[in-house]
């Protein structure tokens, strides 16, 4: 019965998905009015921590909260792992302890974000109903004792998740000290259940999408290798190598199921809570298990968990991930967890340098975060994360790292008025597509091709010049950007091509990178050469692509200077007399010798440029310089020394700048005019920053 009811829900949801969004499943232009991310009556930028009162005697809570208040911590995330405490046996609930914890936090001027505990189902549930447990790819059902062991496709598990979320919402949905909700924890930590129920749901999802097997077989080209399906029940869950169309649709199905799993809880929370309470989920950066543009759409705002792991912060990679998260919904975000010095799950769990975490926290704010939370408050006495960094040790006393959090949180409080109502506004956008990422990952053609690293190489160079970059869906509105760059946009169906051409026609500059426009929405090769539907506007095409050998030279030269290609090279051809060749290959494999590697062409009021190779650092820097000059992009602040990152947040005609020194040595930054140094409490035309130094700037006028 449960499965039949669930199937009806799936069919209903699918009819909504494919009715209005068939042509453009990633449309994010028609969103409801966003609830402000700042908490009314609280600071515009907040420091928080993740607190687990259920692990400690209630007599200890007051001391914990007093230490938080002393450190200017304003937010606790609470309860996301406490299912067995809130529902100790089936149908018997105890929220009194949580109510007392939230009230006591409020006494210390700390608001609570309540997490639904569905990443950690209790033992009574998994033992009584083993069908709620995931089945792994090897066919084995997971056992109790870890986390994320529930199956998101289990109808029974969905019922229990909905029940606990509803009970929590009834109890806390009108609590004035609860400001928001986090659904589950780190979605996709263990992605899907590989059981017969999931397979049947996948088959029904495909049937709702394709309507007929003839259509599916045509779009997937199943005549290849005799893959033709005669019955929906024959279609498998793809494990390992498989038909590219099947694999891409499986990823979309996973996205659909996680979105439905999330919505199952959102519905009951919204039914019983005030609209002032936000709903978010804590995501994991470039985790690629599902399409984040789809799954974040019903959330108030996105959040992510910022961990370096081993080594030290890479400001380009960390900034890129902040901007990716901000781009999911194109609005401010939260960092729901961040590294408190060290983690426990890497091969080498070194501690961040003194001052490094402070610089990370300010970088998050600079890139559009309104809150930074540290995971976790105090070392758990047992469990799988005993060695993880904390603010308090197992003895309940502050560890040295507490002082750095204390300093940073008080700095947040000192300057928070400057950040009220502000967000990040950019002239440059990078396009990131999960369909394209998956399509490349399925068939990399060379193990060296890493589309995220290539994205990072474009990002680092463009951000140093423009000092602000958005990372958004390929389907996002583009008209406000002077420059749009798509480093690896492999999947460009006709509707997306029209969207991009509309941007160029009205004066935008679109830059495409290698492997662009090879595939359609079914992960099939387009009948046109690359970049597919954009060939005519580009005035050129890709004649052939080559995976480049590691031990050979592939020289490049032209307007951007001399350098080398690596990993991937495409032989381009001009098709219009006014198509301009910017770089050519030198002598290499014979096929590429003296052939175009980069071409550009005007179209309408704008321009399309195609970069057909992975460029070395020198050429990538020159390419970025050419792009911003050609597009009229200007820096938001002015020149800064190497290793210094400057960012702007703006709103209501007011600008605030965050300047951070990530270099190994001290730096002196010349300011474009006399400015207020909000942390130093002075006015100046220069600022001296030690390593990891930070200053917040406003115009003096």
pLDDT tens per residue, range 327-351: 999 999 999 999 999 888 888 989 8
| CA 523 – CA 553 distance, rounded (Å) | 32
pLDDT of residue 41: 62
Residues of the chain with pLDDT > 90, as a percent, come to 88
Spans in the chain with pLDDT lower than 50? 1-36
DSSP 541: E
Burial class (CB in 10 A: 0-12, 13-18, 19+), 30: exposed
β partners of residue 181: 114, 279
DSSP 48: E
pLDDT of residue 38: 57
b/e for 337-361, b at 16 or more Cβ within 10 A? bbbbbbbeeeeeeebbeebbbbbbb
CB distance 666 to 688 below 8 Å = yes
DSSP 525: B
Cis peptide before 208 (omega within 30 of 0): no
Indicate which residue of 80, 166, 186, 570 is catalytic. 186
How many CB atoms are located within 10 Å of the residue 210 CB? Answer: 19
β partners of residue 544: 571
> Is-catalytic flag, 570?
no
pLDDT of residue 8: 41
CB distance 513 to 454 below 8 Å = yes
The angle at the Cα of 685, spanning 679 to 687, to the nearest 5 degrees, equals 45
pLDDT of residue 31: 35
DSSP 167: H
pLDDT single digits (tens) 34-59: 434 556 667 799 999 999 999 999 99
**H/E element, 203:** helix 196-210
Measured CA to CA in angstroms, residue 666 lies from 641, 648, 662, 687 at distances of: 10, 22, 9, 11
Give the E-state strand segments of 55-162 in sequence order: 75-78, 111-115
DSSP 234: G
CB distance 462 to 641 below 8 Å = no
> Is-catalytic flag, 404?
no
Q: How far is C-alpha 96 from the chain's CA centre?
A: 36
pLDDT of residue 673: 94
**CATH class, range 428-631:** alpha beta
**428-631 and 644-699 have identical folds:** no
Check the CA dihedral 179-183-184-186 and report its sign.
negative
pLDDT of residue 383: 82
Measured CA to CA in angstroms, residue 379 lies from 81, 392, 523 at distances of: 15, 7, 47
- Structural domain spans, the chain: 428-631, 644-699
How many CB atoms are located within 10 Å of the residue 93 CB? Answer: 15
| CA 307 – CA 193 distance, rounded (Å) | 27
**Token pair for 183:** 């659904």
Indicate which residue of 80, 166, 257, 337 is catalytic. 337
Question: CATH assignment of 644-699, given 3.40.50.2000, 2.60.40.1180, 3.30.160.270, 3.55.40.20?
Answer: 2.60.40.1180
Measured CA to CA in angstroms, residue 204 lies from 12, 192, 242, 264, 659 at distances of: 12, 16, 19, 19, 52
pLDDT of residue 389: 86
Q: Which of 46, 696, 650 is nearest to 334 (CA)?
A: 46
């Amino acid at each position: 019965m449960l499965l039949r009811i669930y199937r009806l829900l799936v069919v209903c949801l699918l009819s909504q998905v494919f009715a209005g969004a068939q042509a453009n499943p990633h449309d994010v232009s028609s969103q409801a009015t966003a609830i402000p991310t700042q908490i009314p009556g609280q600071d515009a930028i907040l420091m928080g921590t993740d607190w687990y009162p259920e692990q400690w005697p209630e007599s200890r809570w007051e001391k914990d909260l007093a230490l938080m208040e002393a450190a200017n911590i304003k937010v606790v995330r609470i309860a996301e792992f406490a299912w067995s405490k809130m529902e100790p046996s089936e149908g018997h609930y105890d929220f009194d302890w949580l109510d007392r914890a939230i009230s006591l936090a409020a006494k210390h001027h700390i608001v609570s974000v309540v997490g639904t505990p569905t990443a950690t189902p209790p033992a009574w549930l998994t033992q009584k109903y083993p069908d709620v447990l995931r089945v792994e790819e090897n066919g084995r059902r997971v056992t109790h004792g870890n986390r994320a062991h529930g199956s998101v496709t289990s109808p029974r598990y969905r019922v229990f998740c909905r029940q606990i979320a509803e009970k929590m919402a009834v109890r806390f949905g009108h609590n004035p000290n609860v400001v928001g909700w986090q659904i589950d924890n780190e979605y996709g930590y263990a992605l899907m259940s590989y059981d017969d129920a999931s397979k049947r749901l996948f088959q029904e999802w495909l049937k709702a999408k394709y309507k007929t097997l003839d259509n599916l077989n045509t779009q997937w080209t199943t005549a290849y290798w005799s893959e033709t399906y005669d019955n929906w029940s024959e279609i498998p869950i793809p494990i390992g190598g498989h038909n590219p169309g099947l694999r891409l649709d499986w990823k979309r199905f996973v996205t659909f199921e996680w979105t439905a799993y999330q919505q199952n809880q959102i519905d009951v929370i919204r039914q019983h809570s005030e609209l002032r309470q936000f709903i978010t989920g804590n995501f994991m950066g470039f985790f690629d298990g599902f399409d984040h543009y789809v799954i974040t759409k019903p959330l108030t705002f996105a959040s992510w968990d910022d961990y370096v792991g081993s080594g030290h912060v890479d400001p380009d990679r960390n900034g890129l991930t902040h901007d990716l998260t901000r781009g999911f919904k194109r609005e401010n975000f939260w960092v729901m967890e961040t590294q408190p010095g060290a983690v426990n799950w890497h091969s080498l769990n070194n501690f961040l340098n003194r001052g490094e975490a402070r610089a990370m926290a300010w970088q998050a704010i600079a890139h559009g975060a309104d809150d930074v939370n540290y995971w976790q408050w105090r070392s758990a006495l047992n469990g799988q994360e005993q060695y993880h960094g904390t603010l308090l040790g197992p003895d309940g006393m502050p560890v040295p790292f507490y002082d750095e959090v204390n300093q940073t949180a008080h700095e947040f409080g000192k300057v928070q008025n400057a950040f009220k109502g502000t967000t990040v506004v950019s002239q440059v956008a990078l396009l990131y597509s999960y369909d394209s990422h998956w399509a490349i990952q399925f068939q990399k053609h060379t193990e060296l091709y890493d589309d995220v690293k290539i994205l990072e190489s474009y990002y680092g160079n463009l951000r140093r010049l423009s000092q602000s970059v958005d990372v958004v869906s390929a389907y996002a509105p583009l008209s406000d950007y002077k420059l749009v760059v798509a480093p690896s946009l492999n999947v460009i169906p006709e509707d997306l091509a029209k969207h991009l051409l509309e941007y160029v026609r009205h004066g935008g500059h679109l830059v495409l990178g290698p492997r662009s426009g090879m595939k359609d929405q079914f992960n099939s090769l387009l009948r046109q050469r690359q970049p597919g539907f954009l060939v005519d506007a580009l005035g050129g095409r890709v004649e052939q692509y080559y995976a480049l050998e590691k031990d050979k030279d592939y020289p490049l030269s032209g307007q951007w200077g001399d350098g080398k290609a690596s990993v991937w090279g495409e032989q381009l051809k001009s098709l219009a007399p006014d198509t301009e060749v910017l770089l050519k290959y030198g002598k290499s494999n014979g096929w590429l010798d003296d052939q175009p590697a980069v071409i550009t062409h005007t179209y309408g009021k704008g321009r399309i440029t195609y970069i057909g190779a992975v460029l070395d650092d020198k050429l990538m820097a020159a390419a970025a310089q050419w792009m911003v000059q050609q597009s009229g992009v200007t820096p938001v602040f002015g020149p800064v020394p190497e290793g210094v990152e400057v960012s702007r947040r703006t709103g209501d005609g007011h600008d605030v700048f965050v300047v951070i020194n990530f270099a190994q040595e001290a730096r002196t930054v010349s300011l474009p005019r006399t400015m207020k140094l909000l942390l130093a409490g002075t006015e100046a035309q220069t600022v001296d920053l030690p390593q990891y130094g930070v200053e917040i700037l406003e115009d003096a006028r």
